[in-house]
A = this chain, B = another copy of it.
Amino acid sequence: MKRTEPTKHTVESGQQTASRILDAAEALLAEAGFDGMSVGGVAQAAEVNKALVFYHFKSKAGLMDAVLARYYDAHLDTLRAAFEGAQGHPRSRLHAVVDAYFAYIAQHQRYPRIIQQQVATAGTTDLIRQHLEPLFRWTEEALAALLPAAGPLAARQFFVSFSGLVINYFTYAPVLAGLWPGDPLGTEAIAERRDHVHWIMDRVLDGLGAEAG
């Protein structure tokens, strides 16, 4: 049953255990939230002494910070690669970004739950904002050419709208599972949701073109 090798007190073993702790923390954070997660529980899930968690991450808040950092970095990289890699009309590039967004979240379903928990909780707002800011700035600049700088059609509105259209689906999925036929997190259901968002986005872009012209 033992898959973990015997303890080796080396630097690389340290990074290894730190990563194991991070994985465990991520899982428990998504299930129970920051306050619902206990450091002891994380240590137990990672098969590691509790004090090691504090040794590697200093505090419980530091642990969550590390989890968030890992996610946001990967998230931003994914979107940036999608947008800059896509070619053709701005429309197709935006579709590519949404697809990448869906693919990323579908692969990391814990991510939206963790974010939503923390966003809705006072106290960690600064931490979230700090991580969200580059993502926000980047999308705002990417959309700046298409949209007015202010008012109901400003880029920032669409940032909230489209990220919400995607992320909200996943956070509500466990609730929807009891209200819909089938599993909202199944492959087909996710594909259907993706089509839905694409459809709405096309209607929005049509409307923007009409207003501009």
Chain A residues numbered 101-118 whose CB sits less than 8 Å from any CB in chain B: 112-114, 116-117
Query: Within the assembled complex, what's the spacing in Å between the Cα atoms of A123 and B28?
Result: 12
A137: nearest chain-B partner, CB-CB: B179
- A-to-B contact residues, CB < 8 Å: 30-36, 112-114, 116-117, 119-123, 125-126, 128-129, 132-133, 136, 151-153, 156-157, 160-161, 163-165, 167-169, 171-172, 174-176, 178-180, 192-193, 195-200, 202-204, 206-207
Protomer copies = 2
**Residues of B contacting A199 in the complex (Cβ-Cβ under 8 angstroms):** 152-153, 207
Q: How far is the CA of A152 from the CA of B156 in the complex (A)?
A: 26
- Chain B residue nearest in CB terms to A166: B164
Please report whether the interface of chain A is mostly helix, strand, loop or mixed according to DSSP. Answer: helix
Contact, CB under 8 Å: B160 / A172? yes
Taking the closest CB of chain B, its distance from the CB of A28, in whole angstroms, is: 10
Chain B neighbourhood of A156, CB < 8 A: 176, 179-180
CB-CB under 8 A from A31, the residues of chain B are: 121-123
A180–B150 CA distance with the chains assembled, in angstroms? 11
Return 17 A-B CB contacts under 8 Å, by A number. Answer: A33-B117, A35-B35, A113-B120, A113-B121, A114-B120, A129-B178, A151-B192, A152-B195, A156-B176, A156-B180, A157-B192, A157-B196, A161-B200, A163-B168, A165-B165, A168-B168, A203-B204
A197 CB, nearest partner CB in chain B, Å: 8
B120–A171 touching, CB < 8 Å: yes
What distance in Å separates the Cβ of A103 from its nearest Cβ neighbour in chain B?
Answer: 17
Known contacts A117-B120, A168-B160, A179-B129: does B32 contact A196 (CB below 8 Å)? no
Contacts of A193 in B (CB 8 A): 152, 157
